[in-house]
Structure 1
Amino acid sequence: MKVQVTAILLFLLGNIVHSQEFKFEKEVINYGKITLGSDGIRTFEFTNIGDAPLIIKEIKSTCGCTVPKKPERPIMPGEKGEISISYDTKRPGGFSKAITIFSNAKQERKLLKLKGFVEKAIQ
């Protein structure tokens, strides 16, 4: 009997702990063709569609040319949030980068992507 009660409590606790969830407007940002040295800041917008506060613990990028900025406070249920990404547009050519978000959501790791092509300025 004790084993059954313990198992039920652990199951319920597991569901409570992971009842936060992201819903992103876009999971890929396509910069398209942009000019060398232009503004490389873009934003991933999302909503917490869960029923508990969503906490973004950390965001890692695949290289130093992509700098993410996470929300500093928890995102409450139903609330919108955003993750800003700054890409170094002083590097000409095509790019395809990813960031990984670590959070307390059901899916603890979430991968988002950026892509585009930085053109040299016409002189």
Structure 2
Amino acid sequence: MKTIKITMLALTLALMSFTVAPTKTDAVKTETGTSPVSWKTEQIDLGEIPQNKPKTIEFEFKNTGKAAVIITNVKASCGCTATDYTKTPIQPGETAKIAATYNAAAKGPFTKTVTVTTNAEEASKVLSFKGTVI
């Protein structure tokens, strides 16, 4: 029994003496706080909209960077919203729009999102619109 305790103590001390060496990672150069995509607005309040009349919402942005921006994906949060967007590269200084057409079938308040992925930003941008169907 005494040898088990000594062995366990030695093993514990041996494990505590190991250190983990930092691993080398590839640094990715990013500019924080400066995005080449400048959105006119990221949230739109539609107020009251009539039932059974689809409503199109447009989110406009400008390429303020030095390289072309390509929209790689636009995804609505539900099947009640269809999206359309510029498929060609947006050159520096140019503007473009993301269109979301909401099918206002059900009465009541709603909040919907559209997620936009571009080659210019690591994280996707989530745009939203809300209102009340009357």
Q: If the TM-score is normalised by the length of the shorter chain, which range does it land in?
A: 0.7 to 0.9
Paired position in structure 1 for 2:93: 78
Correspondence list, 1:74-113, <5 A: 74-113=89-128
Structure 2 residue 22 is matched with structure 1 residue 22: no
Amino acid at match of 1:87: Y
CA deviation vs aligned residue, 1:46-70 (integer Å, no higher than 9, x gap): 1001110000001111100111112
Correspondence list, 1:1-123, <5 A: 14=29, 21-119=36-134
Runs of 4+ in 1 over 4 A off after TM superposition: none
Distance change >3 Å, CA 23–CA 107, structure 1 → 2: farther
In angstroms, what is the RMSD of aligned CA positions? 1.9
Q: TM-score, with normalisation over the residues of structure 1?
A: 0.78
Rounded to whole Å, the distance in 2 between the matches of 1:107 and 1:118 is 35
Rounded to whole Å, the distance in 1 between the matches of 2:106 and 2:36 is 35
Q: Give the superposition deviation at 1:111.
A: 0.7
SS at match of 1:59: strand
Q: TM-score, with normalisation over the residues of structure 2?
A: 0.72
Amino acid at match of 1:28: Q
Rounded to whole Å, the distance in 2 between the matches of 1:110 and 1:104 is 12
Q: Is the 1:61–1:67 contact (alpha carbons within 8 Å) kept by the matching residues of 2?
A: yes
> Aligned residues, how many?
106
Say which structure, 1 or 2, has more relative contact order (CA 8 Å, 6+ apart). Answer: 1
Q: Give the superposition deviation at 1:92.
A: 1.2
Rounded to whole Å, the distance in 1 between the matches of 2:50 and 2:107 is 9
Which structure has the larger Rg over C-alpha atoms? 2
List alignment gaps of at least 5 residues for structure 1.
1-6
